[in-house]
Structure 1
Amino acid sequence: MQMTNMPEFHKHIKRVVISEEEIKEAVTKAGEILSLEYKDKPLLLVTILKGAFIFLADLSRAITIPHEIGFMAAKSYFESTESSGNVEITLDLAQDISKYNVVIVEDIIDTGRTLSKVREYLESKNPLSLKIVTLLDKPERRLVKLQSDYALFTIPDYFVIGYGLDYGEYYRNLPCIAEFEEDK
């Protein structure tokens, strides 16, 4: 994907890491896998806002079986490119998840702190099963023992934006995943 004649808004895009087409293909495949695995089972997709909302929407459309959606919010970045290490759950689920196979739909697993806390919290609510699907995985940054059940892409240690991921609440609307470059 070429980003020529970029407006001022795009000045922080160093390069496109994963194209819109690559994302669509991977999401379609993930939807097929989840549709087969959870056929005839109660499925609840849980996303952690805000970063995963676009991934959740596309994945939900790619899943061909009935399912429900739940939203949580947790934060650890606080307008920085580095996780603070402090994780705060700011929005809880409305559903009683003990009657569902729960799949956490995550945008990116970096240090793993946020998702580890969310997973632990959801496990305490006794779902029928609990799995993690992440758009992006950065295993070299992991600070806690955590592994996704399905990662669409594994990336090296650089800060990325787009397809729901942000920097200071901007860039979520990019249709691709791009490497962020701070002002020099």
Structure 2
Amino acid sequence: MQITNMPEFHKHIKRVIISEEELRDAVQKTGEIISMEYKDKPLLLVSILKGAYVFLADLSRAITIPHEIGFMAAKSYFESTESSGTVDITLDLKQDISKYHVVIVEDIIDTGRTLSKVKEYLESKGPLSLKIITMLDKPERRLVKLQSDYSLFTIPDYFVIGYGLDYGEYYRNLPCIAEFEEGE
């Protein structure tokens, strides 16, 4: 797959890992599963900003039952391709999650540090249930014991961009998942 409408991005794209069509199909199927599992239950999708915002928007449209959304922000990369090891929750939820079945919507689980901290924090607030859905999973990079309940794609240890994922705040608008290649 070539990305023809974004020529400036070409220099940092080694190759496309997951196409726009593959993403769309996987999100649609996952929306159907969530819709069946949480039918007639108070559902809250919690997006971890910024990377998961595209995934959350598409997943929310694919879910056919009433649900709410909430946003949190947690940061561990700080403009690098390597996790800093420090996780900061920089934006908290406004909802009282004790009244909801909560599904954390994450873009990627890499080391697991960020999501592990977010999960622990949300569990302490007593939701009716708590599950994790991730668009991408990199289990070979895991440094903490953490597993998602739903994972759309498992990928090798590549640094990836697109569909909300960034490098230095750029490339979030790519319609696919691509392997990032550092360079000029």
- The AA in structure 2 aligned to 1:38 is Y
Equivalences, count:
184
Identity fraction in percent: 88
After superposition, what is the alpha-carbon deviation per residue over 1:87-146, rounded to whole angstroms, capped at 9, x for unaligned?
000000000000000000000000000000000000000000000000000000000000
What is aligned with 1:120?
A: 120
- The AA in structure 2 aligned to 1:37 is E
Cα distance in 1 between the residues matched to 2:45 and 2:138? 22
| Structure 1: tracts of 5 or more residues without a match | none
What is aligned with 1:59?
A: 59
Question: Once superposed, what is the RMSD of the aligned Cα atoms?
Answer: 1.0
| Structure 2: tracts of 5 or more residues without a match | none
What is aligned with 2:73?
A: 73
Matches within 5 A, 1:88-107: 88-107=88-107
Q: Shift of the alpha carbon at 1:161?
A: 0.1
The 3 A distance-change label for structure 1 pair 11 and 127 is same
Q: Shift of the alpha carbon at 1:9?
A: 3.0
- The AA in structure 2 aligned to 1:105 is V
* TM-score of the superposed pair, with normalisation by structure 2: 0.98
Cα distance in 2 between the residues matched to 1:4 and 1:183? 20
What is aligned with 1:22?
A: 22
What is aligned with 2:170?
A: 170
* TM-score of the superposed pair, with normalisation by structure 1: 0.98
- The AA in structure 2 aligned to 1:137 is D
What is aligned with 2:43?
A: 43
SS in 2 for 1:126: coil
Q: Shift of the alpha carbon at 1:154?
A: 0.1
